[in-house]
Structure 1
């Protein structure tokens, strides 16, 4: 196990210890609120929650983003379900392509990543129960779980699944269920370590009237697509959207 994985697990153990008392639960809830105010992901989520539809996350790993989204949804849209989808055992080993091999990113190294998360579903369920978040864990590879889920409307999607094939698995099934004006955020777009992510997103939206845009909040940024309300022509240049929060 790599040091970074050990540190993340230790951090989650500290959170679990904090949540054992009412005072600790209140403190952790406050910390999550502070993080939400600094997150461009949550900025876009807040805007999307005004629309009809649910929220889905594809690529959970240790659940950091899941807890942030659950925190804000509990405040603003407690009735909306949040679906947290992941295998919790790493990538589908036979679906890592040459397109996913960035600089110094070899196939055998990618195959080892994100495998240390089997404890996460239980931790997330405890979080959902403690804070009365309408959250649901969906365990399995996207190619298997997403087609079996009941079709529904989504107002917000967060895709953080790194590799080419997984991005297409998500977009091919879910984008059609995103409501007009809804937002899909791509955590790995324009990330040199994950070239397959950009390739998959660019291919999927090549014949669409929209292209990825960048939102910057302070030093943090995310790439996203907002589904058109009606037919519109694609813009040729997408400048980063800069936002400041009080």
Structure 2
């Protein structure tokens, strides 16, 4: 099932080995309990989680755009199971890398060549299966949405979101997400931008700044966090969207 081509980078091989270790833990009741505890510790250490936990008090579901091997997905699912078990988590990714024709000059950071970017994040075809197993084992209402954002997000039934996590690197991918999802974010809800202000992904900052240009809301950084967790909180004055939806599992 796993891709183990010789061209695979060491970091990708390491991440796959880690996922193999997780899969072995999940084979036994004791292992599942141990991994659940590991996730709890990781949640406490992650500065993203405080924003997330506050957002879970609002109406609406959770969506992640850019999953790769699902590290953040599992943390989100862990806290949702504790604090908001009836909410849905949507994990959106092609699981096959970037849309090759949508890597622009604005996405090329220092020493980041187009041919190298085109090869990134391709080793994830096994992730939908792994995450589905994770959701099922721990009773999380998770949904895998497979495909490029420009294709999948417009087809999702409109709904309310209390939290949006965007980790999609490219300029056009950020706009694909924001153009569809921002209107569905509830007032007071939060969008976190994993790649904002990162020199290696200049297109991310460009897209976010363009989208919020002329608006009172601007990206801000979590106070006291050295690495930089950047987010936008939707103004309370914005109108609330009322939607209905049907459960999903896997698209694509």
What CA RMSD, in Å, does the superposition of the two structures yield over aligned residues?
Answer: 1.0
Tell me which residue corresponds to 2:249: none
In 2, Cα distance between the equivalents of 1:221 and 1:34? 20
Q: TM-score, normalised by structure 2?
A: 0.90
Q: How does 1:68-217 map to 2 (within 5 A)?
A: 68-216=75-223
In 2, Cα distance between the equivalents of 1:113 and 1:13? 21
1:156/1:184 contact within 8 Å kept: yes
Q: How does 1:19-58 map to 2 (within 5 A)?
A: 19-58=26-65
1:39/1:220 contact within 8 Å kept: no
State the 1:218 CA deviation.
5.4
Deviates more, 1:216-225 or 1:33-42: 216-225
State the 1:207 CA deviation.
1.6
- Cα 1:32–1:220 change in 2 (3 A) is farther
- Cα 1:217–1:76 change in 2 (3 A) is farther
**Structure 1 runs (4+) greater than 6 angstroms displaced:** none
Structure 1 regions of 5+ residues with no counterpart?
A: 232-246
State the 1:42 CA deviation.
1.3
State the 1:220 CA deviation.
4.6
SS at match of 1:188: coil
Q: TM-score, normalised by structure 1?
A: 0.92
In 1, Cα distance between the equivalents of 2:223 and 2:235? 21
In 1, Cα distance between the equivalents of 2:225 and 2:194? 17
State the 1:221 CA deviation.
3.3
1:91/1:114 contact within 8 Å kept: yes
1:161/1:167 contact within 8 Å kept: yes
1:57/1:158 contact within 8 Å kept: yes
Structure 2 regions of 5+ residues with no counterpart?
A: 1-7, 239-252
Q: Count matched residues.
A: 231
State the 1:15 CA deviation.
0.5
